[in-house]
C-alpha cells in the first residue's frame, strides 16, 4: 500500500473536478465513488449526490471562517494505491484506510470532532484519493510534522491488517531517481539516459577505482565530467559537485549535482571512507606479474572466491563495508568486461547499488573487503595488459565468483532484515545469471569443443586460502570418495574449497551438501568436476532461499531474480520503476529492479511452433528445436520465452546461420539438465553467440570520438547524435536491430 502526499494545491473545486474526471456533464458525485467522509462533518446519505461546487464549499468553509486573509494553498491531497497483486478492498475497508491515514498525518486525529474536513474518493479498484483542507474547524493550525514518514509507518501496519503485500519503509539508502523534467529534457536532447544517471555511473566508477582523494578527482575529470570542488577557509576540500558538459538550464547555466544528490554513498565523506586508514599504494600490482588481461582476471576471481567464503561473517559493521567493496568490484569489472557481457554486468552493478548501502554504520577494512579491493585493483591494472585470448573464459570464472559473493550478500541482508538491500542483491543475481549464459554462448562461437569451460588457474590464496584447501580436503574425501582425488587435483579445487566454506557459513553441513549435489547427476563427462560442483553448490544456496523478506514466495520471475549462474530462470528483464514502485522502495526514490517479460518480437497470434525461421527452405521453429535439443523440445515449445528465442533464430538465419545447427551449438556449450527455463537459457546463449557473427555493434553510450567525427568536436557522455539515431532507425527498418534493450 503506497500513500503519497502531493504538494499542497490551490483550490479544492479544481482538484475535485480533476479527481472525478474532467468532462463530466452532471457535476455530481457518484455515491459509489465515495469511500469515506470526514466523520461528523458530512453525511454520506445526505451529501453523496452533492454537486462538486457545493462539496468544495463544505470542505473549504473552515478556511474562509478564519480571521484574516485565507490561505492561498490549503488543499491536502493523498493518493493511496495497492500493489497490482493485492486483493481488492471493499468500500468499508477503504474507508478505514482513509481514516487511518488521516489520523497518522495529524490532519484528522481519531475522535477529534474539530479536526480538518476531508473526503476520500475511490478513483479505481486499486486506489483512492484523499482530499483535505488545511484548516481545523476550531480555527487552530493543522500540524503536519513528519507526515510522510508517519503515513508510511501506518501503511506498513495496514498491510498486515488487510493481508496485503508488505513493502519496505524508507531507510535513506535509495539513490535519487531523475525527475520527470530531467527525463523529458534528456529525450529532447537525444540522450540515452538523463544526465543524473550518467553522472551516478561515472562518479561511482571513479570512487571504485580510486585510492585517494586526488585519484578520485582525477578519475572524474578523465571521465569527461566537469568538476567543482567546495573548499573551506583553510583550503581543505569539504565537498564536490559534477556536471555533464553541455547540460545547461534554459538560462544557459551548467546543471551541477553534488555527490549526495546523486546517491547517499557518493558524498565526499562517504567516498573517503574507502581509503581512510589504508597505506598509500596498498593493493597495487605490477603489470609485469601477469602475462595477459585474462591472467589478471583469473587472479581477481580467486580473491572474489575467497571474499565470498567469509562475506558477512565479521559482524554487521564489517559486513556493511564488505557490501561497499563488492559493489565497487561489480562496477569496476562491468566497465572492462568483454563486450558480450558488458551490458548485463552494468545492469547487475546498477541493481546491486542499494545492496551496497546497508542502513547502518560500516567498517571498511575486514578480510573480505581486502580481498574485494585487491580484486578491484587487479581489474583496474589489467586494462594496461595485452588481450591475447581467453578473456571470455576468464570472464566466466569471475562471473561464478561474483555470483557466489552476491548470494552471500543476499543472505547477509536477509539475516539483518535489510529488505530493500536483499531484493537489490537478488536483482543483481538475475543479471549475473544472464551474463553467464551470454558468455557461454560467446565461447561456443570460438570453440567447438562440447563443454568448453573457463581455464581455472591456481592463484595464491592468502590470507586463509591454503588453510581452506587443507581444511576441506578431508571433507571431500569423506563425502565423495569415488571422485575425491580427481577433484582435489583440478585447478578449480581452491574455488570449491572457498564455496564449501561459504556453504558452511550459511548453515549447511559441508560433507552432506557436497554429497547431495554430487548425486544429482554423474560427473563422468565433465571437463572439470570441481567447477561443476561449484556451480551446483551455488545453485543450491540460491534455490534454498525461496522467500523474500516481505513474506511472499519467490515464484516465477521473482524467483528468477535470485537464481545463480547454473540454474535457469523465468523470462525477465529489469524495468524502470513506475511512480508507485518508487514509493514501494520506501523513501520514494528507488525501487529494486523487478524482472518483467520482455516485449515479444513475434506476433503472438501466430503459433510459435509453426513460425518459419527464414526463406522457403528454412525449417520452422518447432522443427529446429526438435532437431537441436530433442530432449527438451516439449519444454521449450511450451515456454513463454520461446517467442524471444524464435526471434533470435530468425535474426541468425538472416545473417546466414543454419538455425538448427546454431541452436545445437549453443545448447552444447554447457549441460541444460538443471535449467528452470531452457528457452531462456538458449536465448541468452544465442545473444552471446551472435555478438561476434557480424551483428552490428551497439553505438557507444558514453564518451569517445568516432572515427568520422572531426577532431574539433567532442561527444558528451550519454549523448547520441542525430546520425546515431538515424543509423539505429535504419537498422531497425532493415530488420537488423541491435537486440533487446535491457
| Selection from 33, 31, 9, 11 nearest residue 21 by Cα | 33
Judge contact between 641 and 660, C-beta under 8 A.
no
Provide the grid cell at 651.
535474426
- What's the rounded Cα separation, in Å, for the pair 339 and 396? 13
Q: Are 227 and 166 spatial neighbours (Cβ–Cβ below 8 Å)? A: no
pLDDT at 714 over 50: no
The DSSP result for 307-372, as a single string, is: HHHHTT-S-HHHHHHHHHHHHHHHHHHHHHS-HHHHHHHHHHHHHHGGGG--SS-----SHHHHHH
Q: Would the pLDDT of 421 be above 50?
A: yes
Nearest to 99 by CA among 67, 132, 68: 132
pLDDT band at 218 (very low <50, low <70, confident <90, very high): very high
The Cα 352–Cα 357 span in angstroms is 9
Residue 105 carries which DSSP code? H
Could you give the CA distance from residue 378 to residue 627 in angstroms, rounded to a whole number?
44
Give the pLDDT mean for 297-313. Answer: 88
256: pLDDT confidence band, cut at 50, 70 and 90? very high
Q: Residue-wise over 376-414: b if at least 16 C-beta within 10 A, else e?
A: bbbbbbbeebeeeebbbbbbbbbbbbbbbbbbbbbbbbb
Note the pLDDT of residue 483.
Answer: 85
Query: Per mean pLDDT, which of 167-181, 273-287, 383-397, 415-429 is the most reliable?
Result: 415-429
Q: What is the mean pLDDT of the chain?
A: 75
Q: Which residues of 647-671 are buried (b: 16+ CB within 10 A; e: fewer)?
A: bbbbbbbeeebbbbebbebbbbbbb
List C-alpha distances in Å: 481 to 309, 476, 535, 647: 23, 7, 20, 46
Which whole number is the average pLDDT over 578-598? 40
- pLDDT of 67 > 70? The answer is no
Would you say residue 734 has pLDDT above 80? Answer: no
CA 465 centroid distance within chain? 32
Quick one: how far is CA 7 from the chain centroid? Answer: 29
Q: Kindly indicate the confidence band of residue 729, based on its pLDDT and cuts at 50, 70 and 90.
A: low
* 645-702 per-position pLDDT tens digit: 988 888 888 888 888 888 998 888 877 876 778 888 898 888 888 875 433 333 233 3
How many residues does this entry show for the chain?
A: 742
- Which span out of 164-173, 433-442, 656-665 was modeled with the highest average pLDDT? 656-665
Question: Would the pLDDT of 716 be above 90?
Answer: no
Average pLDDT rounded to a whole number, residues 515-540 = 80
Amino acid at each position: 500500500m503506497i500513500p503519497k502526499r502531493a504538494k499542497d494545491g490551490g483550490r479544492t473545486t479544481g482538484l475535485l473536478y480533476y479527481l472525478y474526471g474532467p468532462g463530466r456533464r452532471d457535476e455530481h458525485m457518484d455515491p459509489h465513488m465515495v469511500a469515506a467522509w470526514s466523520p461528523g462533518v458530512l453525511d454520506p446519505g445526505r451529501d453523496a449526490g452533492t454537486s462538486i461546487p457545493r462539496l468544495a464549499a463544505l470542505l473549504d468553509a473552515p478556511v474562509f471562517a478564519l480571521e484574516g486573509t485565507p490561505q492561498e494553498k490549503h488543499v491536502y491531497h493523498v493518493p493511496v494505491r495497492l500493489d497490482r497483486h493485492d486483493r481488492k478492498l471493499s468500500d468499508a475497508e477503504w474507508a478505514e484506510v482513509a481514516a487511518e491515514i488521516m489520523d497518522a498525518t495529524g490532519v484528522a486525529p481519531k475522535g477529534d470532532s474539530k479536526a480538518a474536513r476531508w473526503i476520500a474518493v475511490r478513483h479505481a479498484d486499486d486506489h483512492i484519493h484523499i482530499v483535505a483542507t488545511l484548516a481545523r474547524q476550531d480555527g487552530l493550525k493543522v500540524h503536519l510534522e513528519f507526515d510522510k514518514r508517519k503515513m508510511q509507518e501506518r501503511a506498513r501496519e495496514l498491510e498486515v491488517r488487510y493481508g496485503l503485500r508488505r513493502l519496505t519503509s524508507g531507510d535513506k539508502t535509495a539513490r535519487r531517481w531523475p525527475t520527470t523534467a530531467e527525463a523529458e529534457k534528456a529525450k529532447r536532447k537525444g540522450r540515452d539516459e538523463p544526465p543524473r544517471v550518467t553522472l551516478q555511473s561515472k562518479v561511482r566508477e571513479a570512487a571504485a577505482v580510486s585510492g585517494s582523494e586526488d585519484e578520485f578527482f582525477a578519475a572524474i575529470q578523465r571521465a569527461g565530467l566537469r568538476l567543482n570542488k567546495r573548499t573551506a577557509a583553510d583550503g581543505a576540500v569539504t565537498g564536490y559537485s559534477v556536471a555533464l558538459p553541455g547540460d545547461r538550464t534554459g538560462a544557459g547555466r551548467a546543471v551541477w549535482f553534488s555527490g549526495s544528490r546523486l546517491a547517499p554513498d557518493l558524498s565526499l565523506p562517504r567516498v573517503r571512507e574507502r581509503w581512510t586508514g589504508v597505506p598509500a599504494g596498498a593493493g597495487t600490482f605490477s603489470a609485469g606479474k601477469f602475462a595477459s588481461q585474462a591472467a589478471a582476471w583469473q587472479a581477481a576471481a580467486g580473491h572474489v572466491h575467497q571474499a565470498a567464503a567469509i562475506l558477512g561473517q565479521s559482524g554487521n559493521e564489517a559486513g556493511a563495508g564488505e557490501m561497499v567493496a563488492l559493489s565497487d568490484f561489480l562496477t569496476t569489472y562491468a566497465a572492462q568486461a568483454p563486450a558480450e557481457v558488458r551490458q548485463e554486468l552494468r545492469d547487475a552493478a546498477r541493481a546491486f547499488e542499494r545492496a551496497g548501502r546497508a542502513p547502518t554504520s560500516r567498517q571498511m577494512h575486514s578480510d573480505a573487503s581486502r580481498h574485494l579491493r585487491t580484486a578491484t585493483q587487479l581489474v583496474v591494472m589489467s586494462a594496461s595488459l595485452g588481450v591475447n585470448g581467453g578473456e571470455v573464459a576468464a570472464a566466466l570464472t569471475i562471473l561464478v565468483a561474483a555470483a557466489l559473493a552476491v548470494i552471500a550478500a543476499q543472505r547477509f541482508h536477509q539475516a539483518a532484515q535489510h529488505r530493500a538491500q536483499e531484493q537489490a542483491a537478488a536483482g543483481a543475481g538475475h543479471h549475473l545469471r544472464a551474463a553467464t549464459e551470454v558468455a557461454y554462448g560467446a565461447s561456443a562461437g570460438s570453440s567447438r569443443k562440447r563443454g568448453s569451460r573457463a581455464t581455472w588457474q591456481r592463484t595464491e590464496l592468502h590470507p586463509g586460502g591454503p588453510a581452506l584447501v587443507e581444511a576441506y580436503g578431508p571433507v571431500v574425501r569423506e563425502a565423495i570418495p569415488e571422485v575425491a582425488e580427481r577433484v582435489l587435483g583440478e585447478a578449480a579445487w581452491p574455488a570449491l574449497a572457498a564455496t564449501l566454506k561459504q556453504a558452511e557459513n550459511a548453515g549447511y553441513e559441508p560433507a552432506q551438501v557436497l554429497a547431495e549435489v554430487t548425486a544429482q547427476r554423474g560427473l563422468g563427462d565433465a571437463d572439470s568436476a570441481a567447477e561443476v560442483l561449484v556451480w551446483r553448490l551455488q545453485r543450491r544456496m540460491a534455490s534454498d532461499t525461496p522467500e523474500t523478506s516481505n513474506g511472499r514466495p519467490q515464484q516465477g520471475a521473482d524467483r528468477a531474480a535470485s537464481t545463480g549462474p547454473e540454474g535457469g530462470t523465468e523470462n525477465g528483464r529489469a524495468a524502470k520503476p513506475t511512480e508507485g514502485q518508487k514509493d514501494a522502495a520506501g523513501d520514494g526514490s528507488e525501487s529494486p529492479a523487478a524482472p518483467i517479460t520482455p516485449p515479444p518480437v513475434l506476433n503472438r497470434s501466430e503459433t510459435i511452433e509453426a513460425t518459419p525461421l527464414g526463406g522457403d527452405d528454412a525449417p520452422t521453429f518447432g522443427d529446429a528445436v526438435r532437431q537441436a535439443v530433442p530432449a527438451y523440445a516439449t519444454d521449450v515449445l511450451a515456454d513463454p520465452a520461446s517467442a524471444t528465442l524464435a526471434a533470435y533464430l530468425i535474426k541468425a538465419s538472416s545473417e546466414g546461420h543454419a538455425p538448427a545447427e546454431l541452436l545445437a551449438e549453443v545448447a552444447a556449450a554447457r549441460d541444460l539438465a538443471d535449467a528452470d527455463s531452457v528457452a531462456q537459457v538458449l536465448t541468452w546463449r544465442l545473444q552471446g553467440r551472435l555478438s561476434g557473427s557480424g551483428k552490428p555493434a551497439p553505438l557507444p553510450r558514453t564518451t569517445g570520438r568516432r572515427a568520422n567525427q572531426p577532431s574539433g568536436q567532442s561527444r558528451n557522455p550519454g549523448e547520441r547524435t542525430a546520425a546515431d539515431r538515424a543509423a539505429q532507425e535504419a537498422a531497425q527498418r532493415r530488420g537488423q536491430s541491435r537486440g533487446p534493450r535491457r
